[in-house]
Amino acid sequence: MDRINQHTAPVYEAMLELRKRRMVPFDVPGHKRGRGNPELLDFLGEKCVGVDVNSMKMLDNLSHPISVIREAEELTADAFGAQHAFFMVNGTTSAVQAMVLATVRAGDEILLPRNVHKSVINALVLCGGIPVYVPVRVNHQIGIATGMALSDVEKAIREHPHAKAIFVNNPTYYGIASDLAGIVRVAHAAGMKVLVDEAHGTHLYFGKNLPISGMAAGGDLAAVSMHKSGGSLTQSSILLCGEGVDAEYVQQIINLTQTTSASYLLISSLDLSRRNLALHGAEAFEKVSSMAEYARAEINEIGGFYAYGRELIDGDSVYDFDVTKLSVFTQGIGMTGIEVYDMLRDEYDIQIEFGDIGNILAYISIGDRIRDIERLVGALEDIAGRFAKDKRELYCGEFIAPELVMSPKEAFYAKGERLPLKDTVGRISGEMLMCYPPGIPILTPGERITEEILTYIEYAREKGCSLQGTQDPECRELRILTET
């Protein structure tokens, strides 16, 4: 099959044409090309504010695309090897939720690893689906959750044959990939859909020697964060459909929650980024992989730090590894990831993606330069030399999988009361609590609270992790279900 000509960018070209026409605006947005908000115009510039426009005939409509947006989505589907692609302007959160809402209804089971993003649980709150957690194994050397072993997936399918779908992280935040093709094979044989979270996997569609992408593996739906490694503006994403997916129904699901005032800044950035990746992605991500591997080798020469890579692959729960992810275990110098994260920002003016109890992640993508990599390596070497502490037993985060007592939807809407965390042991949570980033829940609505969970929460707080999700902004109180 001949590929579509990827050199065009229909939405971007339509916006250039709009700019030439110098049209007088009597529509929204009310700033009228920035004239009504001079400070905004000065801050962002006329080129940006001047194309912050509303849907109009020549620019198409994201909720019901029939011209340039439709063409741009067709180009995107072709570039990513999908049957259909949707532009998403509410972030990958909305793409993940659309996947779940299009597949799971009230009372339906969905198989998923515990280390899913909070958007998955929030989708289950909306639709009434029941999460069935596939065991997530832990690498105790570095204290992170890995992927789903195929044998564990097969066991979960046997025990829950009526589940509608299985949800897969591809890859995890740390770069761990499960056997996605194998999961697709066994799930489809059982009549289940495969939903793939590729918030950190845009490059898998274009780079070489990387884990297989969701569409190449035969997945049914994939949520892809173009803004993370693909180069588009923050909050822009795409949702991909595989063979046999009813794209018209998926569009209806998207329109339940996605804004009707879609930003053309975001839409055009998706259009341009797709073109850039289609034409230059292979070359760009080869460079990204090379920079990450260089950084990994240099960091491992420092001592104390461990920048892990493909040596973690075991063909099981670590089926593959995304080498573009520069994940570094920090406890070898007696410091938590969050402590190193804060120090890099405050002392060295280096902003990395996140730090958790045991690790940091430096996100490397198409905009990075080798001199930036060298600055990061130099800062870590300095930290190890100046601030390393005596090694001690630090909490390494055995992955906690709480008991699910009721569905997230039932618990979220049930009557409850707020209690101090210390008084909640044995009770059922009515809300979510997580460290962010990466946004993986410690507790979700409907789960039983244990002493182990509270110990982990307080340790994370002590080490500077950002606790979020509860009604209480300080996360010192938790809404728990009223006992009857």
309 and 369 in a common domain = yes
- Residue 272 domain flag: no
Name the domain count of the chain. Answer: 2
Sign of torsion over alpha carbons 48, 54, 59, 62: positive
Judge if 382 and 417 occupy the same domain.
no
For residues 306 and 372, membership in a common domain is answered with yes
For residue 382, being part of any structural domain is answered with yes
Lowest-pLDDT choice from 97-111, 127-141, 238-252, 282-296: 127-141
CB neighbours (10 Å) of residue 403?
Answer: 10
Whether the predicted pLDDT of 343 surpasses 70: yes
In sequence order, the 6+-apart residues with CB closer than 8 A to the CB of 189 are none
pLDDT (tens digit per residue) in 347-361:
999 999 999 888 999
Which one, of 424, 221, 101, lies nearest residue 442 by Cα?
424
Residue pair 313/176 in contact by the 8 Å Cβ criterion:
no
Least-confidence region, from 239-248, 297-306, 386-395, 456-465: 386-395
Q: Check whether 466 has a pLDDT greater than 60.
A: yes
383 with 412, same domain? no
Above 70 in pLDDT, residue 222? Answer: yes
Phi, psi dihedral angles at 111 (to 5 degrees) = -85, 135
Of the listed ranges 41-55, 178-192, 261-275, 384-398, the least confidently predicted one is: 384-398
Does an H or E element contain 416, and which? strand 416-420
Asked if residue 414 and residue 357 are part of one domain, the reply reads no
The rounded distance, in Å, linking the Cα atoms of 314 and 31 is 56
Predicted local distance difference test score (pLDDT) of residue 415: 95
Q: Which of 352, 387, 422 is the last residue of a domain?
A: 387
Asked whether residue 324 is assigned to any structural domain, the reply reads yes
- Identify the burial level of 157 via C-beta atoms within 10 angstroms of its C-beta, where 0-12 means exposed, 13-18 middle and 19 or more buried: buried
The residue segments making up the domain with residue 466 are 408-481
Radius of gyration from C-alpha coordinates of the chain: 23
Regarding whether 381 and 297 lie in a shared domain, the answer is yes
φ/ψ of residue 255, rounded to 5: -70, -10
Which string of b and e fits 254-288 if b means at least 16 CB within 10 Å?
Answer: beeebeeebbbbbbbbbbbbbbbbbeebeebbeeb
Average pLDDT (36-49) is 94
Token output for 279: 């034409």
Q: Which of 117-121, 398-402, 442-446 has the lowest mean pLDDT?
A: 398-402
Question: Does 346 share its domain with 308?
Answer: yes
Instruction: Check residue 390 and give its pLDDT.
Output: 79
**Domain co-membership, 364 together with 413:** no
- Please give the sequence-ordered ranges of beta strands (E in DSSP) within 208-253, or none if there are none: 221-224, 237-241
The sign of the torsion formed by the CA atoms of 229, 232, 233, 235 equals: negative
Q: Please indicate, yes or no, if residue 80 is contained in any of the structural domains.
A: no
- According to the model, what pLDDT value does residue 399 have? 62
- What is the average pLDDT across 289-304? 97
Please classify residue 11 by burial: count the beta carbons closer than 10 Å to its beta carbon, then call 0-12 exposed, 13-18 middle and 19+ buried: buried
| Residue 21, burial from CB neighbour count under 10 angstroms (0-12, 13-18, 19+) | exposed
Q: What confidence tens digit (pLDDT) does each residue in 146-197 have? A: 999 999 999 999 999 999 999 999 999 999 999 999 999 999 999 999 999 9
Residue 253 has pLDDT above 50, yes or no: yes
User: For the segment 137-148, what is each residue's pLDDT rounded down to a tens digit?
Assistant: 888 888 888 999
Q: How confident is the model at residue 400 (pLDDT cuts 50, 70, 90)?
A: confident
268-272, 348-352, 399-403: which has the minimum mean pLDDT?
399-403
Answer yes or no: do 308 and 368 share one domain: yes
Helix %, strand %, coil % of the chain (to 5): 40, 15, 45
Per the domain annotation, does 196 fall within a domain?
no
Residues 304 and 383 in one domain: yes
For residue 103, is it within any domain? no
Neighbours of 249 (CB within 10 A): 10
Mean pLDDT for the chain?
93
Q: Report the alpha-carbon distance of residue 465 to residue 479 in Å, rounded.
A: 21
Alpha helices in 303-407 (DSSP H): 337-348, 370-387
The identity of residue 177, as a single letter, is A
Please report which confidence band the pLDDT of residue 393 belongs to, taking 50, 70 and 90 as the band edges.
low
Other beta carbons within 10 Å of 315 = 10
CA dist list (Å): 181 to 155, 211, 466, 469: 17, 10, 35, 34
Read off the DSSP letter of residue 67: S
For residue 337, the SS3 value is: helix
Average pLDDT over residues 208-217: 97
Q: Can you give the pLDDT at residue 302?
A: 97
The token duo for 197 is 């979270």
With beta carbons less than 8 A apart as the criterion, state whether 203 and 171 touch: no
Residue 316 falls inside a structural domain: yes
Say which CATH number the domain at 457 has. Answer: 3.90.100.10
CATH number for 309: 3.90.1150.10
DSSP state for residue 104 in the 8-state scheme:
-
Cβ pair 294, 373 in contact under 8 A: yes
pLDDT at 434: 86
- Rounded to the nearest angstrom, the gap between the alpha carbon of residue 299 and the centroid of all alpha carbons in its chain is 26
Residue 17 confidence (pLDDT): 94
Q: Among 387, 421, 436, where does a domain finish?
A: 387
Which range among 82-96, 172-186, 385-399, 402-416 shows the weakest confidence by mean pLDDT?
Answer: 385-399
Q: Is the per-residue pLDDT at 395 higher than 70?
A: no
Return the pLDDT at 1: 42
pLDDT-wise least confident of 150-154, 248-252, 343-347, 390-394: 390-394
pLDDT at 50 over 80: yes
Instruction: List, in order, residues 6 or more apart from 342 with CB less than 8 Å away.
Output: 355, 464
The answer to whether residues 375 and 350 touch, using CB atoms and an 8 Å cutoff, is yes
102 lies in a domain?
no
